Structure 1
Amino acid sequence: MDWPPSWPRVLDAEFGPPVSGDYRARPEDFMVEEVLDFAPEGEGEHLWLYIEKRDLTTAMVVKELARLCEVSPRVVGYSGMKDRVAVTRQWLSVQLPGREAPEGLAESLAERGVQVLEMARHPRKLKRGVHRANRFRLRLTGPAVDDEGFAARWERLLERGVANYFGPQRFGPDGRNLLRARSLLARGWRKRDDRDGMLLSAARSFLFNELLAERIREGSWDRLLPGEVANLDGTASQFTVEAPDAGLEARAARLDLHPSGVLWGTGGSVANGEALAREAHLASRFPALCGGLEAAGVRLGRRPLRLSLGEASLERGDDELWLAFTLPRGAFATAVLRELIAHPSL
């Protein structure tokens, strides 16, 4: 398998390929803040901790928190997995019924690169995927900083939105997660071989990216097709568009709603017409992956093909650029960066 795939950028047709640039040279160049729409209630058997971690994965912090609290990692909750080479802020929870936090917990975590910014009690465990968004602040360096066309590319992303590709980290170094997923699905998926579902996720993400890439090539990635399942910007609300009219097209043009693509699995698609035909074509190209996901019992889902950048800004410094923007949960900052700079990891 050739890796990485030649998934097209949106802006290349108008501006040509981006100039090379660098990002994440150090953790402080890639800052992420998780955004929740609620706060701990102040009482309950779960201790919630708002932390800032540096150069650590979320899984590493979960393991260390469980060790310090003398509990199983299974009772530690988190909403999203955050990058390692970064400075990130997020909530974690740990179940401590009838127990206080271990003495010196914050100090012990600080010795391992984890700052506890806030602690509070809550009745329930923090569940996966409950945060609304992630707020990013990224430092860029290299030739792209001095490129006269950079600002124009950035402004066009604000106007047209960003192709909602899954990032390369989903597929592992050199796409190895996808290779493992293909092998596992071919012989029959078993949970003991993929306990956290990482390989299933890699397969679904690859199929989605392939569908999005085809829509970009044909120029329909940001417009509604007959039978399209439209996604309301920033929400989980979806509805099927039998025939796009001027009103819906205007809403799509101002980024109020977006076309969506299938996350492959079992269950009938709510798309029809031209949009459903694109999904059928995807299945004909990758029958083993699609069939393997169905056999594994993964439920069909949907994901917007496009996303808008919230709270966006561009700051220029000495030989550097700082980008700030907010993305809905599940979106990748690398999808934004690959439209703006050329880098081997993108």
Structure 2
Amino acid sequence: MSEALGDPHSDALARPPATPRAHGEPVGEAVLRAEPADFQVDEIMVVEPEGEGEHLWLEIEKTDWNTEDVALWLARNAGLHRLSVGYSGLKDRRAVTRQWFSLHLPGKPDPEFQWPPGLRSLRAARHRRKLNRGTHRGNTFRLRLRELAADQDALAARLERIAAEGVPNYFGEQRFGRDGANWTRGRAWLLGGEAPRKRPLRNFWLSGVRSGLFNAVLAERVRRDVWHRLLDGDLLQPDGSRGLFSADDDHDAAARVAAGTVHPTAPLPGRMGMASSGACRQLEDTVLADHVALVEALADLGLDAERRATRLPVSALQWQCVGDTLELTFRLPTGAFATAVLAELLTTRVPSANRG
């Protein structure tokens, strides 16, 4: 039942949309994040500091800290407003991650920090510009999965398929908060409920709702086995680019999609923006008919419509099994989730003490 036609608080719509797998059922199970070092992430930067300027760039290794808390700690201990601290992307908390931050220090010397447990400065250099969101090209992941129970041949075959075909580019559960709260509360707000009192919550809720709507469209493409295939009227995105073009304008579109040089996209709803057509538009309209009120509310708030690739290429994928431990290394583009890769491989569980 759609929000436009029925109960907007229906239990069927209260949870983030389900994300069916593209490559079949998991080939085994394992424990993820038994300790922070089991989940390591390094930013792949497009730009690195030049050595001079008003902004101090710091490459920081953080363990069991989330990115925003590091930014707040830096601002407080450098005597700066929070907005004077920049970073490129959000990183997992229960992990060891290495990422860059910038501090705006016009006419000021470099602060002398007394680093707390879990934070370590790796490099420091000046630059002329603030580090803005989305500056990095991607991330390298090094994962260790423990207590592995899987057939080795099936595991290797699935990993080879993932390396060759990629995986559906779902937003991971981190985007939706604990127990899907960002989707649940954001949806309730947009359908007439209580608004968030703090701006960061507003952003998290809006992001959670748009991500859920994208996942719903992608899930339908997975069910129809067209998440990595061309549909008439698709809007396509070149690999490694944010640009868009209509498949109808390119006679070689199907071959380019099959080769992986361009990818189909699905909507992050908002106002205006490029619109798909044909079979692609029909699929998207069918899915979003269950969420008409949400789509209209997002447009009314002034969010611009965007598109996101439906296929996630997994680069430089390597693996080895040591006893009952699987070690994985791979690269993903900016904005992608390692959990989307793992979901196509194994059923993972996180020790209850490490959730959140």
Q: TM-score if structure 1 supplies the norm length?
A: 0.92
Equivalent-residue separation in structure 2 for 1:45 and 1:244 (angstroms): 45
* Secondary structure in 1 matching 2:153: coil
Moved over 3 A (4+): 1-6, 143-148, 188-196
Cα deviation for residue 292 of structure 1 reads: 1.4
Aligned partner of 1:82 in structure 2 is 91
What are the superposed Cα offsets for residues 278-320 of structure 1, whole Å, 9 maximum, x if unpaired?
A: 2222331111211111111110000000011112211222221
- Once the two structures are superposed, the pairs formed by residues 185-196 of structure 1 within 5 Å of their partners are 185-187=190-192, 193-195=198-200
Aligned partner of 1:19 in structure 2 is 28
1:94 maps onto 2:100 in alignment: no
Code of the residue aligned with 2:261 in structure 1: it is D
- Once the two structures are superposed, the pairs formed by residues 122-133 of structure 1 within 5 Å of their partners are 122-133=127-138
What are the superposed Cα offsets for residues 12-43 of structure 1, whole Å, 9 maximum, x if unpaired?
A: 1xxx3432211111110000001111111111
The counterpart of 2:326, out of the listed 308, 313, 321, is 321
* Secondary structure in 2 matching 1:142: strand
- Greater shift in the superposed pair: 141-150 or 274-283: 141-150
1:240 maps onto 2:249 in alignment: no
Equivalent-residue separation in structure 2 for 1:279 and 1:132 (angstroms): 29
Code of the residue aligned with 2:241 in structure 1: it is T
Taking a change above 3 Å as real, the CA distance of residues 236 and 64 of structure 1, as seen in their structure-2 partners, is: same
Code of the residue aligned with 1:41 in structure 2: it is E
Aligned partner of 2:52 in structure 1 is 43
Cα deviation for residue 138 of structure 1 reads: 0.5
* Secondary structure in 2 matching 1:138: strand
Equivalent-residue separation in structure 2 for 1:295 and 1:191 (angstroms): 17
What are the superposed Cα offsets for residues 255-287 of structure 1, whole Å, 9 maximum, x if unpaired?
A: 211111011000043311111112222331111
Tell me, yes or no, if the aligned pair for 1:240 and 1:270 is still in contact at 8 Å.
Answer: no
- Once the two structures are superposed, the pairs formed by residues 164-203 of structure 1 within 5 Å of their partners are 164-187=169-192, 193-195=198-200, 197-203=203-209
Cα deviation for residue 144 of structure 1 reads: 3.5
- Once the two structures are superposed, the pairs formed by residues 104-183 of structure 1 within 5 Å of their partners are 105=113, 108-109=114-115, 111-183=116-188
Equivalent-residue separation in structure 1 for 2:208 and 2:219 (angstroms): 16
1:283 maps onto 2:288 in alignment: yes
Gaps of 5+ in 2: 1-10
Aligned partner of 2:212 in structure 1 is 206
Tell me, yes or no, if the aligned pair for 1:229 and 1:260 is still in contact at 8 Å.
Answer: yes
* Secondary structure in 2 matching 1:169: helix
Tell me, yes or no, if the aligned pair for 1:264 and 1:293 is still in contact at 8 Å.
Answer: yes
What are the superposed Cα offsets for residues 76-135 of structure 1, whole Å, 9 maximum, x if unpaired?
A: 0000010000000010001111111223x2xx12x3321111101111111111111011
* Secondary structure in 2 matching 1:7: coil
* Secondary structure in 2 matching 1:21: strand
- Greater shift in the superposed pair: 232-241 or 248-257: 248-257
Equivalent-residue separation in structure 2 for 1:127 and 1:310 (angstroms): 25
Q: What is the aligned-residue identity percentage?
A: 44
Taking a change above 3 Å as real, the CA distance of residues 191 and 143 of structure 1, as seen in their structure-2 partners, is: closer
Cα deviation for residue 341 of structure 1 reads: 0.7
Tell me, yes or no, if the aligned pair for 1:212 and 1:221 is still in contact at 8 Å.
Answer: yes
Equivalent-residue separation in structure 2 for 1:158 and 1:342 (angstroms): 18
Cα deviation for residue 148 of structure 1 reads: 3.3
What root-mean-square deviation, in Å, do the aligned CA atoms of Structure 1 and Structure 2 show? 2.0
Q: TM-score if structure 2 supplies the norm length?
A: 0.90
Taking a change above 3 Å as real, the CA distance of residues 126 and 286 of structure 1, as seen in their structure-2 partners, is: same
Cα deviation for residue 239 of structure 1 reads: 1.2
Code of the residue aligned with 2:23 in structure 1: it is L
The counterpart of 2:230, out of the listed 224, 229, 236, is 224
Equivalent-residue separation in structure 2 for 1:155 and 1:43 (angstroms): 45
Gaps of 5+ in 1: none
Taking a change above 3 Å as real, the CA distance of residues 58 and 137 of structure 1, as seen in their structure-2 partners, is: same
Equivalent-residue separation in structure 2 for 1:167 and 1:234 (angstroms): 20
Code of the residue aligned with 1:151 in structure 2: it is A
- Once the two structures are superposed, the pairs formed by residues 262-281 of structure 1 within 5 Å of their partners are 262-281=267-286
Equivalent-residue separation in structure 1 for 2:274 and 2:284 (angstroms): 9
Cα deviation for residue 237 of structure 1 reads: 2.8
Equivalent-residue separation in structure 2 for 1:209 and 1:244 (angstroms): 26
Code of the residue aligned with 1:323 in structure 2: it is L
Tell me, yes or no, if the aligned pair for 1:314 and 1:324 is still in contact at 8 Å.
Answer: yes
Equivalent-residue separation in structure 1 for 2:17 and 2:149 (angstroms): 23
Aligned partner of 2:19 in structure 1 is 7
